[in-house]
Amino acid sequence: MCQPLPMIETAGTMGATSEVGRLRTVMLHRPGPELRRLTPRNNDQLLFDGVPWVARAQDEHDAFAQALRDRGVEVLHVDALLTEILSFPAARAELIGAAVDDPRLGATLQRAATSHLAWLSPEDLAATLIAGLAHDELRGGRGLAYEVMDRSDFVVPPLPNLLFTRDSSVWIGDEVAVTSLAMPARHRESTITAAIYTHHPRFAGVEQLYGSSLEHLEGGDVLLLSPGVIAVGVGERTTPGGAERLARRLFARGLATTVLVVPIAQQRATMHLDTIATMVDVDAMVMYPAVADSLRAWTVTAPAGVGDDADEVELTVTGPQPFVVAAATAMGIDRLRVIDTGLDPVTAEREQWDDGNNTLALAPRIAVAYERNTVTNAALEAAGIEVVAIAGSELGSGRGGPRCMSCPVQRDPL
């Protein structure tokens, strides 16, 4: 059970400095039994807008992964990486401890759950950490908390949102930011992601520039506009404090020269910056028409030579300016092209809700998008963007598109 893994050769230098450099390696999570835990009673709490047809969601995700492979992208799967690190005692102890670190349980039930999880094989433990552990599935359950639980309650809650791998980590340069997820239903995702980056030989030596104990920051709010220029949305999921903390760390490590902080509406339809805007070329972005003219940005910079004590450095904050103006200035280009979808307000709202603006660039002018957003996709093609269309009728029930479902691990420099 605890044999060490062989070292794995990487395909090249890991990391990313843009949203559109040719994608070489990506981390995905194929939806599994955790989606079968969703019911009309708990789907809101678990952040889904409906109860998906799991088999169809798996078929759609398999087609998404194959579309990436067909374009030469190496696909890593979270569950496989997790299973591999659970051969290591340190990783097992860390992740079991995180799974039972829940004030609902009490000391007796925590001990029982720990004992149950400790006896599982790496494969079964990985499956349980993702799909959760229900009251009736726990061997040797005991204690007050256990007795008063409903039979359908979870001792270890499932992680259906693990599907959206972009949120729990984001690569900036050659370092990875393990993020601090805002919603209680997602907190444990970051512990799994951090453990993979810490313990898996594939990521040996990789520096982690952020952590789950810091101010709330989610990867869906982080856009790599160009080398050294990062946009961070603040709203429902990422706090201004999280944006400032990330900026300080980026400046201290020489990973950015400018951070644009972009307030977005604090509502479900616009939970992340990438639900309203994503890069599709080195100088082009597809953007929800309702915010194209109103989106504002504060420009954050720091003195040259900032050291590791960046918390003590006074940052320079200017603005606000229109986001597209601030972005173009920071990127050193004449203008940032916004692809005008030309949608009527009703169609625009429908396609934004269906993640029409949440595209995944495979290279400059090549982007993956949901096939159902026909008007947005036609506008992209008219602007010279090749659209790789995928099905997503079931995958989208958690409000996430191709970008949300993918964490680029390696992109070519522009």
Q: Measured on CA atoms in the order 40, 38, 26, 234, is the torsion positive or negative?
A: positive
Three-state secondary structure call for residue 322: strand
Select the more confidently predicted residue: 264 or 75.
75
Select the more confidently predicted residue: 289 or 226.
226
The rounded radius of gyration (Å) of the Cα atoms in the chain is 21
Positions of E strands within 266-406 = 277-281, 284-287, 296-301, 316-322, 337-339, 360-363, 366-370, 386-390
Residues near 127 by beta carbon (within 8 Å), at least 6 away in sequence: 32, 33, 79
Mean pLDDT check: name the lowest of 97-106, 174-183, 337-346: 337-346
Residue 83, CB-side half-sphere exposure with 13 Å CA sphere: 10
Select the more confidently predicted residue: 108 or 290.
108
| Selection from 109, 83, 141 nearest residue 101 by Cα | 109
DSSP state of 212: T
Asked whether residue 8 carries a pLDDT value surpassing 50, the answer given is no
Q: Using CB atoms within 10 Å of the CB of residue 90, give its burial: 0 to 12 exposed, 13 to 18 middle, 19+ buried.
A: exposed
Run of H or E residues at 291: helix 289-292
Asked whether residue 407 carries a pLDDT value surpassing 90, the answer given is yes
pLDDT score at 375: 84
Q: Measured on CA atoms in the order 41, 42, 44, 45, is the torsion positive or negative?
A: positive
- Cα distance between residue 288 and residue 340, in whole Å: 9
Asked whether residue 356 carries a pLDDT value surpassing 60, the answer given is no
Neighbours of 263 (CB within 10 A): 17
Select the more confidently predicted residue: 355 or 398.
398
pLDDT in tens, 76-91: 999 999 999 999 999 9
Asked whether residue 179 carries a pLDDT value surpassing 70, the answer given is yes
pLDDT in tens, 118-155: 999 999 999 999 999 999 899 888 889 999 988 888 99
pLDDT score at 9: 39
Asked whether residue 3 carries a pLDDT value surpassing 70, the answer given is no
Residue corresponding to tokens 């256990």 = 146
What's the predicted TM-score (pTM) here? 0.89
Q: pLDDT tier at 42 (50, 70, 90 boundaries)? A: low
- Cα distance between residue 86 and residue 80, in whole Å: 10
| Selection from 272, 34, 25 nearest residue 159 by Cα | 34
pLDDT score at 6: 38
Q: What fold is seen in the domain 161-409?
A: L-arginine/glycine Amidinotransferase; Chain A (3.75.10)
Asked whether residue 234 carries a pLDDT value surpassing 60, the answer given is yes
pLDDT score at 178: 97
Average pLDDT, the chain: 87
- Give the active site residues: 404
